[in-house]
Chains A and B, each alone.
Chain A
Amino acid sequence: MSTYETYSHDVLVIGSGGAGLRAAIEASAAGVSVGMVCRSLLGKAHTVMAEGGVAASLGNVDDRDNWKVHFADTMRGGQYLNNWRMVELFTKEAPDRVRELEAWGAVFDRTADGRILQRNFGGHKYPRLAHVGDRTGLEMIRTLQDHGIHQGIDIYQEYTIVSLLKDGDRIAGAIAYDREKGLFKIFHSKAVIIATGGMGKIYKISSNSWDCTGGGISIAYHAGAELIDMEFVQFHPTGMVWPPSVRGLLITEGVRGEGGVLRNSNGKRFMFDDIPENYKNQTSNNEEEGWRYTQGDKNAKRPPELLTRDHVARCIRREIKEGRGSPHGGVFLDIAWIKEKISNAPEHIKKKLPSMYHQFKELANVDITKESMEVGPTTHYIMGGIRVDADTQMTTVPGLFAAGECAAGLHGANRLGGNSLSDLLVFGKRAGESAAQYAKANQKGKLSEKQIEELSKEALDPFSREANADKENPFQIQSDLQEMMQDLVGIVRTEKELIEALNRLEELKRRAAKVACGGNRGYNPGWHTAIELKHMLTVAEAIAMSALERKESRGGHFRDDFPDKSEELGSVNLSISKGEKMKLQRIPKQKLRDDLQQIVEENK
């Protein structure tokens, strides 16, 4: 056995946000021993920042809603690149997963008859998002946390996974270090679930927490797992733009769901100017009808502010670029105007959007019940990630599973708001179940002493470079990477810039090889960042490479040099895997099952 302290579990869950917690709870319920590694403290994962709600066709507010409508909405939103089997499972199971949270203590906002209230959101035909004001993510993670701590799960807080460990083709565990002391620890397990979330922090302007560095996606890739759809990054249309230090901070789509409107510097509601063909049937072309929709009029069509995020983000960018932006380079999002419509508007806004009120008041000195907010696009989510089997969530590496944002397939080319929170629940549960089954059917793999020694040595290298004259500062490289991705692989892309990005990534990799850190190993952010750079660079490269290959515009991926959809590319997903160099392949899309095709047609 290794010289490092070794923990043994049937199932190891990496990540403790919504997906990780839900997976750990399920695996533990199946009767296997479960360890869960949290990169931060328990309950602090990026899930806490989710605001608007969790999408599930409960039909509490509009009984015309059901899984089929949710299915059609999700496929349309994803521009039909979604893994349809995942969408089917997801839309069928989401309502049960939400109701289950209530049984575990979650306290969602209520309808007049005492059931779970649901709100409107972009791309969802009916009010579908169960919510708690604008802090739904906090409610969800706290519910899972407070339930999870009583389920016999071993929880390792503030541990960072350095790499997965393999025995031949299959997974054998992981090597980590604990932040407090900086000591290496070995996890020996039969199955591993990756639930590490997204990668927003490889961009300069992002709504994500610091630990959204794509680490889980990268360790899976380096362990041989395939990635797909990496070109599809979601830029949320409404991030804060002022003051600079909070640039990118999220403003929930719930603001628009509650009647908030987007205006340019001429005071015009510019979203009416460009309504995509496939949403024309469902979108209102007058302001009055749009308002009635947000207030629950079942016969009204949705206002164009509630079109999908990819589209709204691009319209905002167009306004800014063509000189109709706000003073600090955004556009105006106005919820205060509803005082023309309802008498107690300020109280209503504070009740429905308490965090938004608080956030603007504290950080920008703006009272959103009186003034407009300035907003602009911010990196929010990655639709792509680790390729998984729809039913079991197993990756292409035996024994390795993935769930949540780091896994891919459900959202296709663009995710609908609210679908991520139910994604965590549905596929977190499925991953936990499957991993437990796998653990019951298989023995532990062997750990390789040599592999562990190499990995730990590599992780410690930055300390040995501290005295080098050409040493690099990890924070500087990280910031250069963020700047580069923002400029060259952002919301609008071109071939020239993507090639430039790939060249710059090579340069950054060369610099990262010289990264150094001082001090000792205990709680050392410099060292942590130095190790993390490899993951950030890997994920950045996968995004840039896939974006270059997809010579069309679809969902979250927009190419200025190929502004239209291509039928050929619309029939494939792009996959990334590790070879000598990073390898890219086209995978033909599976034909949609006939009954599901019919659902899509019926809901057009």
Chain B
Amino acid sequence: MKVTFQIWRSDSNGGQLKDYQTEITEGMVVLDAVHQIQAEHANDLAVRWNCKAGKCGSCSAEINGRPRLMCMTRMDQVPVDKPVTIHPMKAFPIIKDLVTDVSVNYRVKKRIKKFKPRKPDAADGTWRMAQSDIDRVQEFRKCIECFLCQDVCHVLREHDLHEKFAGPRHMVYTAALEMHPLDVEDRTEDLKKQEGIGFCNITKCCTTVCPEKITITDNAIIPLKERVADRFYDPLFRFFRLFTKKN
């Protein structure tokens, strides 16, 4: 079956959606269609991808307006009676065609304090952790850094506050560190000031688009907000802090 796609192509004026037709066969995903178009009609069509198995998080785009991984979107889930639009992620500057500049995410991550383990539990330098204590952290560590959550977050997408709000991906990253049973670093103040956790108003869009089904808002962001609230807004804590050096 021939299907029409409208794919964003950059040009000297910025860019526009351009029509392509290609043959769709059973089991194809959107990324297959893009590759086919690239091989047949547009060798220079830029698209970022690596694994085509939903594991690397490179091929994020907006398919008919929905942020998705192109490699995990089957063509039989997409209505084909009208053209299928493929647009690059809108929260990031376009480099070319479907490829965006996601470098801000790497900068933000680097400024988050890294993992700092407590002293080893055993003489051989190893630690002991119960599986039940790491289940939650393992959920966060499933993140493939596709940045779809960043793309859909209105703070970043509509208001372009990348430098003020670290965004859902980095809340998940921070939560994985903060809830790591071995970690002894304190990132609560950074969460409030540097990462701007207060910007998140819990619309849960990030959770909806996560291809790894990480419960970003409920399991990561809200508990971190609670930590910040406990530290900075709890009257008892404030009183206590008067007598300590910290903060």
Contact = CB atoms under 8 A, between A and B. Distances in A.
Contacts of B137: 107
Nearest to B96: A523
B125 A99 contact: yes
25 contacts: A44-B51, A48-B55, A99-B125, A99-B126, A107-B129, A107-B134, A107-B180, A115-B126, A157-B103, A180-B95, A209-B50, A209-B56, A211-B50, A243-B27, A244-B25, A245-B32, A246-B27, A358-B54, A363-B27, A364-B27, A473-B43, A479-B39, A517-B44, A525-B47, A527-B44
Q: Which of B25, B55, B117 gathers the greatest number of chain A CB atoms within 10 Å?
A: B55
B240 interface: no
Given A42-B106, A107-B129, 12 more contacts: A49-B51, A49-B56, A107-B138, A110-B129, A146-B114, A157-B106, A245-B25, A246-B52, A479-B39, A522-B96, A524-B44, A527-B44
A115 B27 contact: no
Contact of B51 (A115, A132, A149, A209): A209
Given A44-B56, A525-B43, A104 B115 contact: yes
A210 B138 CA distance: 28
B144 interface: yes
A529 to B, nearest CB: 8
Given A147-B115, A523-B99, A243 B50 contact: no
Interface in B40-95: 43-58, 72, 74, 95
Interface in A131-151: 132-133, 135, 137-139, 142, 146-147, 149-150
B178 interface: no
B120 to A, nearest CB: 8
Contact of A105 (B95, B109, B115): B115
A436 to B, nearest CB: 22
B27 A242 contact: yes
A103 interface: yes
A138 B144 contact: yes
B88 to A, nearest CB: 12
B128 A363 contact: no
A131 to B, nearest CB: 11
A203 to B, nearest CB: 15
Interface of A: 40-46, 48-49, 99, 102-105, 107, 109-110, 113-117, 132-133, 135, 137-139, 142, 146-147, 149-150, 157, 180, 209-211, 242-246, 249-250, 354-355, 358-359, 362-364, 473-476, 479, 517-520, 522-527, 529
Contacts of A475: 38-39, 43
A43 B125 CA distance: 28
Contact of B180 (A105, A116, A355): A105
Contact of A132 (B58, B120, B141): B141
